[in-house]
Amino acid sequence: MTSASDDRASSPAGQHTVRRHNLSLVLQAVLAAGRSTRVQVAHSTGLARATVSVLADQLLEAGLLDELDPDPTSPGRPASPLRLNPFGPGGLGVEVNVDYVAACAVGLDGQVRAQYAEPFESAAMSPRVTLRRAARLAARTCREAGIPIAGAGLALPGLVDGGGVMRRAPNLPRWNGFAAAEVLGLDLASSGLEMVVRAANEANLAAIAQVWYGSEGLRDFVHVSGDVGVGGGIVVGGQLYSGLRGYAGELGHVVVDPSGPPCGCGGSGCLKQLAGLGALGRGEPVRPARRRARWGLRRAGAVADRFAHRRAAAPGGEQRARTGSRPRVEPRTVRRSTGCGRLGRGASAQRS
């Protein structure tokens, strides 16, 4: 399991770190409630009222919170509720895939302000040409959003390291070793959009989004994205399980049939070659592909389940092990991204 919090936990927490943590607590409390007074925030976070008041003032000054007029109908002394500022800084999401580029701007309140997607043959173009196209689309999205953008996330269909470099992309071989996050940041800056850009695997980012916004209380599941390739993000205990090198969710390159068609990764019979859009388009039988896909999901679930068992047996996890409450990831706890809709349409076309 890898997360930013794991690295921070290994060093002493300074005053700046504590303040950032408490600011985050206040923001999360307001987000969870929709709108909340300072007293209510203090009650839900356990922070002192005076501390909450100071932190709220800092967030108001930064434009992250908005203060509403007091509710005269509330009992006692009317208090001014806080909410996330709908006109405060938002985030930019940019996606590059094999045959399209997309951009989306989202406000602090979680509302999509603008989004665009364009067909684009990224596999036939150089990474720089593709990212310039994506940057132009992102600039158009930001202009229409009408809110300041604090930072950008770049979703890529391949193995991306912590520095935003694409280490391996079987479907985009010209991207191998390419510093995608850095180059997109420069392209955005040339359009007048100075911001930090972080890049990650598209399926992992989709899995994180499911935890934050769409998991319906699930904390242990596999998110599968189906497009030209097949990707996966494994979530255990509400955190992304990325494995030793950060590439644990690469379901598309699980070998399902060693005698199957060759894959760009160097293997043969990978799940992508049997259940991806390319496989469906060239006539791979739908039912066998589905059986192989289910097998791949079970195998991914078993990996996450073994990790959860080790975590329960680790120091501090003895109680989980004794109670048998270790999380399990099973095929029924699967979330699919919208790209799978194209898979479904491809399957329907074959059946007709």
Classify domain 217-346 by CATH number.
3.30.420
Give the separation between CA 14 and CA 258, rounded to whole angstroms.
53
196-205 average pLDDT score: 94
- What rounded mean pLDDT belongs to the chain? 79
Give the separation between CA 80 and CA 82, rounded to whole angstroms.
7
pLDDT tens, position by position, 243-266: 877 778 777 888 888 888 888 778
185-209 average pLDDT score: 93
Whether 274 and 292 have beta carbons less than 8 Å apart is answered as yes
Whether 171 and 159 have beta carbons less than 8 Å apart is answered as no
Greater model confidence, 194 or 299: 194
Q: Report the relative pairing of strands 334-336 and 221-226 from DSSP bridges.
A: parallel
Greater model confidence, 339 or 67: 67
Statement: 90-204 belongs to CATH 3.30.420.40: yes
The residues spanned by each domain of the chain are 14-68, 90-204, 217-346
Residue 94 pairs in a beta bridge with: 103, 154
Number of Cβ within 10 Å of residue 21's Cβ equals 12
Whether the CA torsion 186, 153, 8, 148 is positive or negative: it is positive
107-135 average pLDDT score: 94
- Please provide the DSSP assignment of 81-148 as one string: -EEE-TTS-EEEEEEE-SSEEEEEEE-TTS-EEEEEEEE--GGGS-HHHHHHHHHHHHHHHHHHH-S-
Contacts of 134 (CB under 8 A, 6+ apart): 94, 96, 101, 103, 184, 187
pLDDT of residue 270: 83
pLDDT tens, position by position, 211-237: 887 766 778 888 888 777 788 888 888
pLDDT of residue 279: 66
pLDDT of residue 221: 87
30-37 average pLDDT score: 90
